[in-house]
Copies of this chain bind each other. A is one copy, B any other.
Amino acid sequence: MDVLAEAEDHPDAAELHRRAEPRAPGLSLPTVYRTLSALEDQGVIQRHQFEGAPACFQRAETAHHDHMIDIGTGEAVEFRSDRIEEPQARIAAKPGYDIVHHRMELYVRKTRG
């Protein structure tokens, strides 16, 4: 199942199935989903649910980052900004919460002109 390990992008379950099938002939989609869920529970991979798209996955070992999704292509670009990360905990702490995790996505389109 670690077709994911060699993926540079953010493939969804069906895409992973497509990529894995050649080297595991007869592999079924339910098995892909089961495996992905298991890996996610173990914290080995992350599931991202972007707007209007099936869930996509990537290894969790990469450093923390957020995503910028190109509305035209659906492509997800990663970025990181401490200036954004840093105030979050403070905001949550005030009303008595701990952040379990967060989601920060910029939906963008190529600048025209």
Interface residues of A (CB under 8 A from B): 49, 51, 68, 70-71, 77, 79, 81, 83-84, 87-88, 91-93, 95-112
A49: which B residues are within 8 A, CB to CB?
49, 51
Given A49-B51, A77-B95, A97-B110: 14 more A-B contacts, CB < 8 Å = A51-B103, A68-B97, A79-B91, A83-B83, A84-B91, A92-B108, A96-B111, A98-B108, A99-B106, A100-B108, A101-B107, A102-B105, A102-B106, A104-B104
Query: Which residues in B have their C-beta under 8 angstroms from that of A70?
Result: 97
For A87, give the chain B residue with the smallest CB separation: B83
With a CB–CB cut-off of 8 A, which chain B residues contact A51? 49, 103
Smallest beta-carbon distance A82→chain B, Å: 9
Is A105 touching B106 in the complex (CB atoms < 8 A)? no
A102→B84 CA distance, assembly (Å): 13
CB of A107 within 8 A of CB of B96, answer no
CB-based closest 10 A-B pairs: A97-B108, A83-B87, A103-B105, A102-B106, A100-B107, A96-B111, A104-B104, A92-B108, A101-B107, A98-B111
